[in-house]
């Protein structure tokens, strides 16, 4: 536990990528394989089922600290992170620190068994941890309890550290780590083993992601060197046919059973192939809004009504394995030729190239993307390999300009991690009659100076507090950008926006002149 807590502290305190990679290499190289496996699991975003309730943690903290509830609530509202709040309010010097235990041993013998205990018994165990662990270890334990072990380390950095440790290519490590990685010492040994490990039939390949195109497309050279496709607004997925059919999302979630029409169609594909593409709601000749598709995502076994309300297709745009051979290093042109021979125009569809007579033609197509229900264009170099992650140069997403509104700030909440002492999560509203109605939450788009200035204003102009949330005076207007608008019965406004973010602080605009809800409603699909 001490070694992992030290690693977590070093990662949390460092802003240098090289230092973070070095810290992980040192830890993975010296930790027992079982501990290293759990570290990989946590650092790549893995979780375990929530073991204790937040309300119980708060109650145990009141009992353990003997502090008044109002002070605990006020501290939590200021800190913004429950694990950090608990650690701060239970600081002490253990009289008899426990003998150091392995991370894997602690998880197996103490953490996971909490699930089988009553809340009273859980409280006794957790309070014992608070009394016996040092501050650094207690913070990590609290993070594990609350399920929020975010520490500024991406999956890619973990892959880089493991590749550096093992001497294996990072693409190979990423592939081995994909799918449902089990935190066992055997799994960690296979992860860094030399040579090629036998293919797991269930595993997807690491996804290749397009980078945002922020320069003029002409800077990419001749348009004829590029394949242009529509940027579909669906669920990125890999369709795997290896002794059966499996469907994996880009978030590495198994989707088996949720889209039975795709699985039935895939059964006709030859064994030993993997298709990369997009799951889309589809009726006739056009995609459905993403909001329709969302209703199917959480249904493990969709019924007849759900299947009829939102039929789906798999829009394939790459073939990365064929006849059990890895095609990722073959040029895109060859992969597409093979793909074209595998799919038809029904449930498994080919993402057809957009007519390309030059950059002017492609720009005209991009400008009309929203009317087609797509987000713009994807540009792929015809001779490109299928890489791992977001590697700039060969795949670009050339999105249409976002939709925008001018909205009023009405609520603010503290952020997380390094921003836990600043109000950085904002709720915005539009006018509906004489009332401001909430329409979007956003937390990105302001620079550090603007965040600090707005934070001071929020603290000085708070009207009410609702736990960690502050209601503020209607005064500041912000221009928000978003990708789409849909009708929604789950929101008070009746409208849901996709991917809202702040474009600029409209200090030039009085709050009475912010946009109206009716303006946003006209954009809804």
- pLDDT score, position 177: 85
- pLDDT score, position 108: 92
- pLDDT score, position 208: 94
| Contact between residue 474 and residue 436 where contact means Cβ atoms under 8 Å apart | yes
pLDDT tier for residue 152 given thresholds of 50, 70 and 90: confident
Please give the average per-residue pLDDT across 417-444, as a whole number: 89
pLDDT: is 15 or 348 the higher one?
Answer: 348
Give the whole-angstrom CA distance, residue 92 versus residue 111.
22
**Residue 198 confidence (pLDDT) above 60:** no
Q: Tokens 């595998």 belong to which residue?
A: 342
- pLDDT score, position 200: 60
Of the ranges 196-200, 258-262, 285-289, 346-350, which one carries the lowest mean pLDDT score? 196-200
pLDDT tier for residue 96 given thresholds of 50, 70 and 90: low
Of the ranges 89-93, 312-316, 379-383, which one carries the lowest mean pLDDT score? 89-93
| Contact between residue 353 and residue 362 where contact means Cβ atoms under 8 Å apart | no
Please give the average per-residue pLDDT across 452-461, as a whole number: 94
Q: What whole-number percentage of the chain has pLDDT above 90?
A: 58
pLDDT: is 117 or 298 the higher one?
Answer: 117
Please give the average per-residue pLDDT across 410-439, as a whole number: 88
Please give the average per-residue pLDDT across 20-46, as a whole number: 92
C-alpha distance from residue 178 to each of 156, 174, 374 (Å): 11, 6, 28
C-alpha distance from residue 124 to each of 51, 53, 86, 284 (Å): 14, 14, 15, 60
**Residue 421 confidence (pLDDT) above 60:** yes
Of the ranges 99-108, 158-167, 499-508, which one carries the lowest mean pLDDT score? 99-108
**Residue 254 confidence (pLDDT) above 60:** yes
- pLDDT score, position 94: 59
Architecture, CATH, for domain 2-146: Orthogonal Bundle (1.10)
**Residue 360 confidence (pLDDT) above 90:** yes
**Residue 199 confidence (pLDDT) above 60:** no
Please give the average per-residue pLDDT across 452-471, as a whole number: 92
Give the whole-angstrom CA distance, residue 377 versus residue 365.
8
DSSP reduced 3-state for 519: helix
| Contact between residue 360 and residue 381 where contact means Cβ atoms under 8 Å apart | no
| Contact between residue 412 and residue 405 where contact means Cβ atoms under 8 Å apart | no
Of the ranges 72-81, 120-129, 303-312, which one carries the lowest mean pLDDT score? 72-81
pLDDT tier for residue 461 given thresholds of 50, 70 and 90: very high
pLDDT tier for residue 389 given thresholds of 50, 70 and 90: confident
Please give the average per-residue pLDDT across 471-500, as a whole number: 88
> How many other C-beta atoms lie within 10 A of the C-beta of residue 498?
17
- Of these residues, 20, 203, 231, 380, which one is catalytic? 231
pLDDT tier for residue 291 given thresholds of 50, 70 and 90: confident
Please give the average per-residue pLDDT across 172-192, as a whole number: 86
- pLDDT score, position 318: 97
**Residue 403 confidence (pLDDT) above 80:** yes
- pLDDT score, position 101: 82
Please give the average per-residue pLDDT across 6-18, as a whole number: 89
Contacts of 118 (CB under 8 A, 6+ apart): none
CATH 3.10.129.10 fits 403-521, yes or no: no
Please give the average per-residue pLDDT across 46-62, as a whole number: 87
Nearest to 177, CA basis, from 157, 194, 167, 191: 191
Stated pTM of the model: 0.71
Number of helices (H), then strands (E), in the chain: 20, 20
pLDDT tier for residue 201 given thresholds of 50, 70 and 90: low
CATH of domain 211-399: 3.30.470.30
Would you give the DSSP letter of residue 516? B
Mean pLDDT of the chain: 89
Nearest to 149, CA basis, from 140, 162, 136: 140
| Residue ranges with strand state E in 95-220 | 211-212
**Residue 197 confidence (pLDDT) above 60:** no
Helices 2-13 and 33-43, axial angle in degrees (round to 10): 30
Domain boundaries, the chain: 2-146, 211-399, 403-521
**Residue 69 confidence (pLDDT) above 70:** yes
> How many other C-beta atoms lie within 10 A of the C-beta of residue 109?
11
Q: Tokens 């474009």 belong to which residue?
A: 503
Give the whole-angstrom CA distance, residue 396 versus residue 217.
10
140, containing H or E segment: helix 135-146
pLDDT: is 191 or 298 the higher one?
Answer: 191
- pLDDT score, position 202: 75
- pLDDT score, position 297: 81
Check if 522 is active-site.
no
Helices 54-65 and 135-146, axial angle in degrees (round to 10): 150
Of the ranges 80-84, 138-142, 392-396, which one carries the lowest mean pLDDT score? 80-84
Q: What whole-number percentage of the chain has pLDDT above 70?
A: 96
Helices of type H across 223-367 = 260-266, 290-297, 304-309, 332-340, 359-367
Contacts of 274 (CB under 8 A, 6+ apart): 204, 205, 238, 239, 240, 241, 242, 319, 320, 321
**Residue 71 confidence (pLDDT) above 90:** no
């Amino acid at each position: 536990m001490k070694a992992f807590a030290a690693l977590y502290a070093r990662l949390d305190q460092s802003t240098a990528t090289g230092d973070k990679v070095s810290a992980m290499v040192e830890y993975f190289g010296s930790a027992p394989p079982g501990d290293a496996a759990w570290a990989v699991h946590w650092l790549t975003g893995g979780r375990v089922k929530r073991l204790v309730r937040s309300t119980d943690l708060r109650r145990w903290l009141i009992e353990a600290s003997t502090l008044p509830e109002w002070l605990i609530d006020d501290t939590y509202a200021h800190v913004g992170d429950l694990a950090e709040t608990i650690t701060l309010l239970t600081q002490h010097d253990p009289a008899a620190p426990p003998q150091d235990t392995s991370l894997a041993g602690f998880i197996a013998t103490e953490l996971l068994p909490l699930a089988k205990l009553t809340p009273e018994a859980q409280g006794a165990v957790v309070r014992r941890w608070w009394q016996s662990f040092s501050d650094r270890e207690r913070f990590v334990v609290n993070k594990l309890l609350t399920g929020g072990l975010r520490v500024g380390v991406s999956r890619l950095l973990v892959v880089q550290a493991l590749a550096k440790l093992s001497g294996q290519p990072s693409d190979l490590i990423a592939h081995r780590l994909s799918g449902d990685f089990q935190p066992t010492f055997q799994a960690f040994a296979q992860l860094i083993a030399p040579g090629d490990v036998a293919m797991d039939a269930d595993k997807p390949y690491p996804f290749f992601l397009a980078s945002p195109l922020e320069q003029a497309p002409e800077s990419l050279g001749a348009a004829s060197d590029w394949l242009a496709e529509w940027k579909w607004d669906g669920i990125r997925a890999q369709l795997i046919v290896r002794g059966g059919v499996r469907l994996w999302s880009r978030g590495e979630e198994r989707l088996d059973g949720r889209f039975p029409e795709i699985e039935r169609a895939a059964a006709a594909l030859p064994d030993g192939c993997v298709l990369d593409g997009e799951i889309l709601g589809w009726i006739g000749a056009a995609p459905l809004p993403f909001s329709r598709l969302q209703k199917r995502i959480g249904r493990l076994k969709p019924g007849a009504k759900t299947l009829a309300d939102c039929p789906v297709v798999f829009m394939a745009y790459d073939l990365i394995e064929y006849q059990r051979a890895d095609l990722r290093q073959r040029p895109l042109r060859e992969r597409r030729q093979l793909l074209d021979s595998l799919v038809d125009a029904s449930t498994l569809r080919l993402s057809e190239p957009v007519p390309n007579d030059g950059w002017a033609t492609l720009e005209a197509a991009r400008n009309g993307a929203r009317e087609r229900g797509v987000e713009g264009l994807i540009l792929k170099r015809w001779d490109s390999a299928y890489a791992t992650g977001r590697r700039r140069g060969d795949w670009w997403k050339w999105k249409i300009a976002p939709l925008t509104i001018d909205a009023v700030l009405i609520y603010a909440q503290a952020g997380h991690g390094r921003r836990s002492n600043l109000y950085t999560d904002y709720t915005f509203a539009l006018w509906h009659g004489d009332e401001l109605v909430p329409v979007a939450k956003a937390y990105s788009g302001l620079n550090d100076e603007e965040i600090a200035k707005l934070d001071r204003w929020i603290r000085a102009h708070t009207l009410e507090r609702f736990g960690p949330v502050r209601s503020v005076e209607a005064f500041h207007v912000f221009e928000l950008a978003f990708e789409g608008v849909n009708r929604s019965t789950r929101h008070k406004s009746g409208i849901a926006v996709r991917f809202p973010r702040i474009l600029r602080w409209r200090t030039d605009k009085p709050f009475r002149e912010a946009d109206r809800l009716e303006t946003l409603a006209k954009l809804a699909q």
